Amino acid sequence: MKNRYCYNIILVVIIVASLGSCKKGNKIERHSVAEEPVIVDSSIIVRLDNVEGNQISVTIQNTGERRTYNYDQAQTEGQVKGSLTKGDKLSVYPDSKSKKVRSVINLSEFEAQWFFDMNQHRGMKIESDGAISSINMEDVSFRNWFIKNGQLIIHYVDMQQRADSVQQYWVDHSEIIYLSKDKLDIRFRGKILQCQHEKKVIKFKFGK
């Protein structure tokens, strides 16, 4: 009986410890911009010139060099974000060992004003120079965005920090889940934000 009692006590301790470990594991760790390790970024900004089969022909923005990549694998793995529209600006992450791309992101579609809460008019404005600003968001103030090696990185200020604490920039390794000209789903701080453009009010003019 005593052994059985001891066994139950040990079992309870193990369960409590496991639950504590799970909660800690589920907690999203974050670090400041100052703590962010240096990332060697191999992605390039290009203009899409042509799409033929599983090949894209592009012009590199900085150099004017023209290249052709195979995007078949990236598309199969769900790493083509947005449409492949001629003339659009893309961020491509090429494979250094082949003429393939690991990811493609349509920046012409990504850089826009997006809202995830139409009722409260909350969202973000993503600009082409890497700036990003919050719209009616009380808990977060966005600062900058980057695409590095196919991954979206956002710098932000946590507005819920204590007023007497030193305000600092935090880093979130976000994820573009879905992108089109009308819809953007991103994962930010572990939460999925389903965004769309602001719906314009159509005004009708009636004759006399």
Instruction: Over range 54-67, report the average pLDDT.
Output: 97
Assign 3-class secondary structure to 131-175. EEEEECCCCEEEEEEEEECCEEEEEEEECCCCCCCCCCEEEEECE
CA 115 to CA 137: how far, in whole Å? 11
Task: Pull the structure tokens for residue 183.
Answer: 């819809």
Helices (H) and strands (E) in the chain, counts: 3, 16
**pLDDT single digits (tens) 92-151:** 999 988 999 999 999 999 999 999 999 999 999 999 999 999 999 999 999 999 999 999
Instruction: Over range 70-83, report the average pLDDT.
Output: 97
Please determine, for residue 38, whether its predicted confidence score (pLDDT) is greater than 50.
yes
CA 115 to CA 123: how far, in whole Å? 4
Amino acid 19: pLDDT: 44
